[in-house]
Amino acid sequence: MTDNITGRLSLHVPEPEVRPGGKPDFSNVTIPEAGSVRRPEVDEDPEQMRDLAFSIIRVLNRQGEAVGPWAGSLTNDELMEGLRHMMLLRVFDQRMLMAQRQGKTSFYMQHLGEEAVSCAFRKALVQGDMNFPTYRQAGLLIAGGYPMVDMMNEIYSNDADPLKGRQLPVLYSSKEYGFFTISGNLATQYIQAVGWAMASAIKNDTKIAAGWIGDGATAESDFHAALVFASTYRAPVILNVVNNQWAISTFQGIARGGSGTFAARGLGFGLPSLRVDGNDYLAVHAVAKWAAERARRNIGPTLIEYVTYRVGAHSTSDDPSAYRPKEESEAWPLGDPVIRLKNHLIQVGAWSEERHVQMEAEIRDTVVAAQKEAEKHGTLHSGGRPSMRDMFEGVYAEMPPHLKRQRQQAGV
Amino acid sequence: MTDNITGRLSLHVPEPEVRPGGKPDFSNVTIPEAGSVRRPEVDEDPEQMRDLAFSIIRVLNRQGEAVGPWAGSLTNDELMEGLRHMMLLRVFDQRMLMAQRQGKTSFYMQHLGEEAVSCAFRKALVQGDMNFPTYRQAGLLIAGGYPMVDMMNEIYSNDADPLKGRQLPVLYSSKEYGFFTISGNLATQYIQAVGWAMASAIKNDTKIAAGWIGDGATAESDFHAALVFASTYRAPVILNVVNNQWAISTFQGIARGGSGTFAARGLGFGLPSLRVDGNDYLAVHAVAKWAAERARRNIGPTLIEYVTYRVGAHSTSDDPSAYRPKEESEAWPLGDPVIRLKNHLIQVGAWSEERHVQMEAEIRDTVVAAQKEAEKHGTLHSGGRPSMRDMFEGVYAEMPPHLKRQRQQAGV
Amino acid sequence: MPRMTMIEAIRSAMDVSMEHDDDVVVFGEDVGYFGGVFRSTQGLQQKYGKTRCFDVPINESGIVGAAIGMAAYGLKPCVEIQFADYMYPAYDQLTQEAARLRYRSNGDFTCPVTIRMPTGGGIFGGQTHSQSPEALFTHVCGLQVVVPSNPYDAKGLLIASIENPDPVIFLEPKRLYNGPFDGHHDKPVTSWAAHPLGEVPAEYFTVPLGKAVVRRPGSAVTVLAYGTMVHVAEATAEETGIDAEVIDLRTLLPLDLETIVASVKKTGRCMVVHEATLTSGFGAELAALVQEHCFYHLEAPIVRVAGWDTPYPHAQEWDYFPGPARVGRALREMMEA
Amino acid sequence: MPRMTMIEAIRSAMDVSMEHDDDVVVFGEDVGYFGGVFRSTQGLQQKYGKTRCFDVPINESGIVGAAIGMAAYGLKPCVEIQFADYMYPAYDQLTQEAARLRYRSNGDFTCPVTIRMPTGGGIFGGQTHSQSPEALFTHVCGLQVVVPSNPYDAKGLLIASIENPDPVIFLEPKRLYNGPFDGHHDKPVTSWAAHPLGEVPAEYFTVPLGKAVVRRPGSAVTVLAYGTMVHVAEATAEETGIDAEVIDLRTLLPLDLETIVASVKKTGRCMVVHEATLTSGFGAELAALVQEHCFYHLEAPIVRVAGWDTPYPHAQEWDYFPGPARVGRALREMMEA
Ligand SMILES: Cc1ncc(C[n+]2csc(CCOP(=O)(O)OP(=O)(O)O)c2C)c(N)n1
Ligand SMILES: Cc1ncc(C[n+]2csc(CCOP(=O)(O)OP(=O)(O)O)c2C)c(N)n1
Ligand SMILES: [Mg+2]
Ligand SMILES: [Mg+2]
């Protein structure tokens, strides 16, 4: 507490512990031991779970063992599949980053360090459920089996782009794969997810929805709209907050303010609010499954904060060395999600270094093959591209006269 | 918890306990005994005060005694003045309601049952502080000594209206009296209050701000903006929520959802969040003073929920008998603020029934005199009125050419 | 045929739509048990249940955002914004989300949402209960903008809007709710009972979007109007004796340019009237289009009579409102030009 | 005189304003330590401290709402919305609050806030990093709308905006930040270093709001433009050999009608060009005004060349952008009319 000795007010402006040139310091981040956080029943009174908003649910310990009440939600085969998804996403990111640098597209956003969140979450949902993602959850598509080549076509805005070149790279859309069309505007989709879930409840359906938002975007007002509506109508929705510590150059303290955690935001709405180790594939899955069960049993919404770290730049337009120490990601105390899951699988005897190296090679080949396939259809500035006609289509179901006039004027 | 036996979802839509025809029932409202809620130090850690968001701070007990740690913030003389303010406001409301019925103005909004909130709050602020009120805090003006005749001039939109007929009745403005121009749009001013307070802190000033919002309007997104900014910059602001149980025809459960109280909304931001008996002049003042001290000592913002009841209609356009039992206000367990303060003053020997009757008459005369004075300047449809020229002024500091052209066209 | 006020016609439109299609849901502030502050949804909750007609938290962005999510699921929400003046918090959801879903997703997700809002002045509502924000929607591709001027159209257009596969902004001139209002605020109030367009079929019918209608044929000048101003224009034509052709646009986006151009080519003169603030109002677009398409037929400049470029004041309501006196003066001046 | 890019000029405007007046504060998303995603505020926090230049939570309504409160207190906030496409959540605060304080309170409270936002396309930003929403502001009385087209004006106009006692929407054509762009996206990028308007005084100076300027005198046709389109218009005039008079409006609200009318009366022809979507764009208001004031001087219909009525697409950026080819074709057609 800042007390006011002079009798004069002053403005408090939060600052991160360190800036470029300083030594990374996460000593203020309290990391509870894996397995130490209890697992309430899904229908327990949320008022009795407030502690979960201030701790971190973790399953994998330092030895790579899965421990505690949240362990055991997945088989080893499922975990191996999960490892594969994360590795696919990572290689996909590398290739697309490079493609952007080569001028094959205008823009890209990567997931480095956060792969577990969307990949593990997806496995807690079923066909028919709907995600309302931000730009940093491509793992939902990859773990959901969406064709990678279509993702690339979208990124290249080529003539096979399912979105006809209309959207910025990475703003995918696929109803079939439960992936709502991504908006460039932050937070708008959080309340849409709640509306979708309400509709499912109105129709006495069984499907549930999941909203996604970043730590920075929780400050947006639609975050509030979503929590109010979800709380009032007990919508079957999972409200995910991916706290990767940064919002472009702004550290999470600016959005979080005086609340200890982002999960705490749910407490004022009577929502179960859980914090989970976002770099622990097993923990993410277990918590997502718990929340999905709550939603599907019509008990109500859940808020989940994934504690993770954005290792890469915000986007290809960003250079983080201007605002945070370069070595900060290495100091991040929750480690790397791929390595942690790999070590666990080795620890339980289901995996080995050799098989891992093999899989790395195989994945590289898969991604490169998809890329070759996509590039056959062209890249942003060369080869096939969506037409000017495509630009005029789809504003409405039926093209109104004024647009027809304009299309004619444009000569297409 | 609604469990899902059929495996099918269903939508939960909250409903008030009773509707017209039913018997009023407030048995679900837990009213703690007066004096029973502790009073923490203003610089205590907010995390240690969470209980205050789920209780109700009360000072006046059934016997009219002032009890407990929140008692004693005002002298008897100050309390007598407070009684007078509340009675003034009540008579003012009666006269203006009648004036509206007589066609002297278009619209009016009363405070019946909620007088203590704004009247007592105002006495915790000092000259230079700034309120950002809604339409139901005229007590801030009355307790602040603003000329009643000017309020009436505004309501009548007559030629002495300080706002030149531009604003709807009751949307007053007075910088001098620390009363920010009221917006017709809900919640917008909550974040403006925070901005004002931040400015005071930026300038190392000593002034503080207060934001005002209704239970229903807490659902608006600007409520979130205000809490985020207040929490992050520890702005010297008091964030008031007047929970009068209704938002036009909508009961508070629709805005509140699954959180037990509106005060709880502050918990997710790490703000001290207090609930207070809004019909208890002493309790309102004590809590407001506590929060004002916190702000002025640069410790940070406070959220206060005033638990009260809107006894009258929402506005002169509303008829509450269509959506709630007529007798509900009588069943309201926190009583009437005027009677409770009167009883207290009688109990401590500072007041009597006779003096009260005398004061009633005196206040009536005062208000009627002001009304006569105001009506000399005209009422909405008769007598003096602001001119068409006034309509064109004040859009900008300097009238731009296109407006001059329009004014000319209008022939004024 | 039954006679209806505009409120009754709007209510009836929602009623038959809900009857006709289980996917139609209705919600908004005070819309459920109470039936709306203008009573437009009265009885719907009782008839269709709490999960198809309900109250919401006061959050316009939430209302529209939730409606978009529901529409993406497959419902057809018809929501109410209590006053058009309160749509601003929802402006992002309306213009960047509802209007964009189809385009953004190449038709994978669509947004059949209808957003009703009472609009316009004439009830001493001051700055925040009187606005006409149509031009803030007509600039947004992906939206459709409808303004009925009478009970018959209100019902038929609202049903068509709810059925429409894309988002529709449905602006209801609140001064017309209980009677046709021609701007003579000092004359006795008339009711819809006596007006031919107060006759409204009880059953399901539609009035197509995108089609204007000539309300009063004439040869001297074309007056383009919508909502309340249709009645002002008609009355002014009668009172001035100027043989104006009054066109009720009904849908502003997409616009029925054909009907407009045919009329202006015939009359050689064009006036646009609206209640909204002049600058960058929808009248600007109309004037721009008319001069573009009828340049060689125009005998005089196109004149716009509109709300002044000030907020809608309380006391000076009738100074602000472009009533028959102002429209009449402008018409006479135009005929002299 | 120093040479500046438009970014440098904007930064310099804030710098000298903060130097000159302690009440000027600057904030926005990523604006503090980092200096803004376009680097417009780089160095200001270091120079003036954390309480005069700081980062904010990502909430545009909060940014503008807080700025309004600060302005009511007596400060002069100059805030950044990261992209104009993200101003929509703040639209209520901008149009119903900032624009209304003075009027509502009869001058008791005022709102000297400047809201900067990068606008326009040309950087492959897709639907949500390319918009030109000026017409959504020009319809709102109480606001002023400024769009500079070069570093000199950007600095002078921004200082004038910060000084101005009423709210100013300051739209920065982002494609001009680092060089004058004439729409020839396939030609090498040029820098401001070689452009006469890249010369900008280091010190405090203002360019008055509400004054347009003739960028290229001509006699055949008047072209009304602002922002990036000024350069497109100039280039097209040269390339087509059509002697167009190119007017850079600089301020859209209030508009310098006098300069426009004088030019059109001289040339007898008028074209309006803008990047924003055609329907209900600011070009509509310009066309409406020009035909109203110059009707008897016009030899041909006023033509608008603008962005299509579609969202700003990613891949088809140069199909959407009204570049020299489209403007040139329209100019030639117009001269034949
Ligand atoms: C309404 C809106 N405001 C601002 C932006 C610009 N913007 C894009 S991403 C971003 C940071 C978001 O940070 P966070 O929510 O933490 O997500 P992350 O990028 O870390 O995944 C900002 C400010 C935007 N897209 N939309
Ligand atoms: C943005 C906005 N939406 C809707 C309204 C219409 N409206 C006026 S008052 C009101 C109810 C407010 O209830 P509450 O906040 O509880 O305040 P109370 O009237 O009880 O004091 C509503 C919905 C408005 N004024 N502004
Ligand atoms: Mg982040
Ligand atoms: Mg209330």
Ligand 1-lining residues (CB < 6 angstroms): A 136, 184-186, 214-217, 242, 244, 246-248, 310, 314; D 29, 58, 60, 82, 86, 89
Task: Determine the 3-state secondary structure of B120 from DSSP.
Answer: helix
Cα A13 to ligand 2 centroid, rounded to whole Å = 33
Does C30 sit within 8 Å of B249, measured CB to CB?
Answer: yes
What are the angstrom distances between the C-alpha of B88 and each of B75, B145, B359?
Answer: 20, 11, 10
Q: Across the interface, which of B9, B13, B45 has its CB nearest the CB of A206?
A: B9
Nearest ligand 2 atom, CA C88: 1
Closest CA to D34 of B325, C247, A323, B211: A323
Contacts of D67 in chain B (CB under 8 A): 195
Q: Across the interface, which of D91, D292, D300 has its CB nearest the CB of C301?
A: D292
Task: Look at residue C31 in the predicted model and tell me its pLDDT.
Answer: 98
Residue of the CA atom closest to atom 6 of ligand 2 = C82
Contacts of D59 in chain A (CB under 8 A): 219-221
Nearest ligand 1 atom, CA A218: 15
pLDDT exceeds cutoff 50 at B396: yes
Q: Which two tokens stand for residue A183?
A: 């908006």
Task: Determine the 3-state secondary structure of A337 from DSSP.
Answer: helix
* Subunits close to B (at least 3 CB pairs below 8 A): A, C, D
**D149 neighbors D230 (Cβ within 8 angstroms):** yes
What is the rounded average pLDDT of the residues C152-163?
Answer: 98
Task: Characterize C67-106 residue by residue with b for buried, 16 or more Cβ atoms within 10 angstroms of its Cβ, and e for exposed.
Answer: bbbbbbbebbbbbbbbbbbbbbbbbbbbbbbbbbbbbbbb
CB proximity list for A226: less than 8 A, separation 6 or greater? A190, A191, A193, A194, A211, A239, C62, C65
Task: Look at residue A1 in the predicted model and tell me its pLDDT.
Answer: 43
Distance of CA D286 to the CA centre of its chain: 16
The alpha carbon of residue A171 is apart from the nearest alpha carbon of chain B, in Å, by 26
**B303 neighbors B239 (Cβ within 8 angstroms):** yes
Task: Point out the ligand nearest to the CA of residue D63.
Answer: 1
* Percent of chain D scoring above 70 in pLDDT: 100
First vs last Cα of chain A: how many Å apart?
A: 66
Q: Across the interface, which of B163, B202, B209 has its CB nearest the CB of D105?
A: B163
What is the rounded average pLDDT of the residues C120-149?
Answer: 98
pLDDT exceeds cutoff 50 at B333: yes
The alpha carbon of residue C279 is apart from the nearest alpha carbon of chain B, in Å, by 9
Distance of CA B270 to the CA centre of its chain: 24
Task: Look at residue A4 in the predicted model and tell me its pLDDT.
Answer: 58
> What are residue A211's phi and psi, to 5 degrees?
-100, 150
Residue of the CA atom closest to atom 13 of ligand 2 = B247
Task: Look at residue A28 in the predicted model and tell me its pLDDT.
Answer: 86
Indicate the top mutation candidate among B93, B244, B248 to test ligand 2's pocket, ranked by most ligand atoms within 8 A of CB.
B248
Cα D270 to ligand 1 centroid, rounded to whole Å = 42
Nearest ligand 1 atom, CA A243: 16
Ligand 2-lining residues (CB < 6 angstroms): B 136, 184-186, 214-217, 242, 244, 246-248, 310, 314; C 29, 58, 60, 82, 86, 89
Closest CA to B143 of B133, B153, B156: B133
Cα D60 to ligand 2 centroid, rounded to whole Å = 22
Distance of CA C253 to the CA centre of its chain: 11
Cα A142 to ligand 3 centroid, rounded to whole Å = 21
Closest CA to A304 of A231, A213, A370, A385: A213
Cβ atoms within 10 Å, residue A366: 16
Residue in chain D nearest A380 by alpha carbon: D315
CB proximity list for D273: less than 8 A, separation 6 or greater? D223, D224, D225, D229, D232, D233, D283, D304, D305, D306, D322, D327
Contacts of A270 in chain B (CB under 8 A): 257-260, 264
Contacts of C56 in chain A (CB under 8 A): 229
Catalytic status, residue D231: no
Nearest ligand 2 atom, CA B252: 16
In tens, the pLDDT along B281-318 reads: 999 999 999 999 999 999 999 999 999 999 999 999 99
pLDDT exceeds cutoff 60 at B1: no
The alpha carbon of residue B400 is apart from the nearest alpha carbon of chain D, in Å, by 6
Task: Look at residue B5 in the predicted model and tell me its pLDDT.
Answer: 58
Does A3 sit within 8 Å of B43, measured CB to CB?
Answer: yes
Q: Across the interface, which of A249, A387, A403 has its CB nearest the CB of D33?
A: A249
Indicate the top mutation candidate among A112, A167, A186, A249 to test ligand 1's pocket, ranked by most ligand atoms within 8 A of CB.
A186
Does B229 sit within 8 Å of D92, measured CB to CB?
Answer: no
Which positions 261-280 of D are in contact with B (Cβ < 8 Å)?
A: none
pLDDT exceeds cutoff 70 at B407: yes
Alpha carbons A70 and A57: distance in angstroms, whole number: 8
Alpha carbons B97 and B108: distance in angstroms, whole number: 6
Does D127 sit within 8 Å of A168, measured CB to CB?
Answer: yes
**D141 neighbors D257 (Cβ within 8 angstroms):** no
Closest CA to D163 of D174, D155, D175: D155
Task: Look at residue D337 in the predicted model and tell me its pLDDT.
Answer: 79
What is the rounded average pLDDT of the residues B94-110?
Answer: 98
Tell me which of A185-199, B14-28, B179-193, C62-76 is least confident. Answer: B14-28
Task: Look at residue B276 in the predicted model and tell me its pLDDT.
Answer: 98
Indicate the top mutation candidate among B186, B240, B251, B317 to test ligand 2's pocket, ranked by most ligand atoms within 8 A of CB.
B186
Alpha carbons B123 and B143: distance in angstroms, whole number: 7
Task: Look at residue A294 in the predicted model and tell me its pLDDT.
Answer: 98
In tens, the pLDDT along A248-301 reads: 999 999 999 999 999 999 999 999 999 999 999 999 999 999 999 999 999 999
The alpha carbon of residue D262 is apart from the nearest alpha carbon of chain C, in Å, by 17
Alpha carbons A284 and A305: distance in angstroms, whole number: 10
Cα B328 to ligand 4 centroid, rounded to whole Å = 15
Number of residue pairs across C and D with CB atoms under 8 Å? 119
Does B268 sit within 8 Å of A258, measured CB to CB?
Answer: no
pLDDT exceeds cutoff 90 at B28: no
| Segments in chain A below pLDDT 70 | 1-6
Cα A216 to ligand 3 centroid, rounded to whole Å = 5
Does D142 sit within 8 Å of B195, measured CB to CB?
Answer: no
Residue of the CA atom closest to atom 7 of ligand 1 = A186
D322 preceded by cis ω (within 30°)?
Answer: no
Whether residue D105 lies within 8 A of chain B, CB to CB, comes out as yes
In tens, the pLDDT along B220-279 reads: 999 999 999 999 999 999 999 999 999 999 999 999 999 999 999 999 999 999 999 999
Tell me which of A202, A221, A223 to substitute to probe the interface with C (most C C-beta atoms closer than 10 Å): A202
Alpha carbons C223 and C218: distance in angstroms, whole number: 10
The alpha carbon of residue B174 is apart from the nearest alpha carbon of chain D, in Å, by 7
Q: Across the interface, which of D66, D255, D258 has its CB nearest the CB of B191?
A: D66
Which residue out of D20, D129, D274, D297 is catalytically annotated? D129
Cα D14 to ligand 2 centroid, rounded to whole Å = 39
